[in-house]
Structure formats: structure tokens, C-alpha cells
Structure 1
């Protein structure tokens, strides 16, 4: 499996972010071809030392890195990537990686 970890930094308006994310971005992202699983953090995102600058974490799971590449080359993947500018005004980091069970 391969994953995309999306770290959404604290937005200017948390409530507006949450509303847009739930009503608009989740349906757009769930339409990405090849998406096997999609989950998001619930509640505060903290560090062992206390608060963090991260508002929400999303994890998208695909079969492979090649599947991620194909997914984001698709019209649905491009739409999801372009949608970030509509609500992620605090900034966003995307980490893409392959996984292995241990």
C-alpha cells in the first residue's frame, strides 16, 4: 500500500474550513480513482509536548505509488488538488510514501 498524508495547518477561520472540508472537499477527494481508504483526524491534533500548528490530518490510501501518480493525473485528482486553494489558507503539507507491514 501507499499513502498520502495531508497536514492542514491552522486556517484563518476554523469553522469555515471545517464546513467547506466536510461539505465540498471530502466528496471531491472521495471521487479520486483508485482511492482505497480515506480517513481524517478527529479533535485536536497535538504533539507529545502539547499543541501543534496542525488543524486536521487526512490519510489517503492507494494500492501503490504508481496508483497515486495515476490518480492525481486524472481529472478527479486534479480537481481535488486544485480545490486546496479554496479553503486551506493556513497552508498544507502533503507527504507521499510507500508502506510495508512490520
Structure 2
């Protein structure tokens, strides 16, 4: 079994500042979270079948289990990454966590 944490960042007031902070500061913090197996982000516009969405970026963090996600965010590195979100995500962010299975 595996688990994923999906973070959806809505469009911020200043997309250039968001992108700079996310890639230069936040992503390196996230890469240091214990138990992280893989870290992906969307590239380019996030679309819906009807056209553009209000989402600027999606991050998908892969772990071995939901328990590992919990432990990761209880760690100092996880706490630092979580605290940093307020520094750049002016449009807001939402998180979903789930275990996965191959279908």
C-alpha cells in the first residue's frame, strides 16, 4: 500500500512571487520531510474540462502510508514546511490525504 498527500494551491495575488517562493524556498523544505518517497508538481496551467481553473499549482507527495504522512508532518521538517505555506499561498491551499491501490 502507498499513500499520497495532494496539495492544491489556488491562484495567488502575485503568481510570480508565489512561483519564486515555492520553487526556491518551499519545495526544498518539502523535499526534506522524512518518509517522502516522491514529490511531483503540476507544470503549466491547471485546467478543467470546461477550461481554466482557479488552481495555480498542484503538489503530490508520495509516502508509504497515511501513518507515515502523519509522522512526517509531526517532524520538525514537516512543521517547517507546513508553517511556510502562509508565507506565499495568498490564494489559499487545501490538502487531501489518502491511501492508494492499483486498480
Question: If the TM-score is normalised by the length of the shorter chain, which range does it land in?
Answer: over 0.9
Structure 1 counterpart of 2:21: 20
Equivalent residue pairs, number: 102
Q: Give ranges in structure 2 of 5+ residues lacking alignment.
A: none
Give the whole-Å Cα distance in 2 for the aligned partners of 1:96 and 1:81. 14
Moved over 6 A (4+): none
Give per-residue Cα distances to partners, 1:15-44, cap 9 Å, x unaligned. Answer: 000000010000000000000000000000
Query: C-alpha displacement at 1:10, in angstroms?
Result: 0.1
Superposition RMSD in Å: 0.4
TM-score by length of 1: 0.99
Structure 2 counterpart of 1:29: 30
Q: Give ranges in structure 1 of 5+ residues lacking alignment.
A: none
Give the whole-Å Cα distance in 2 for the aligned partners of 1:14 and 1:8. 11
Structure 1 counterpart of 2:8: 7
Give the whole-Å Cα distance in 1 for the aligned partners of 2:96 and 2:90. 18
Structure 1 counterpart of 2:68: 67
TM-score by length of 2: 0.98
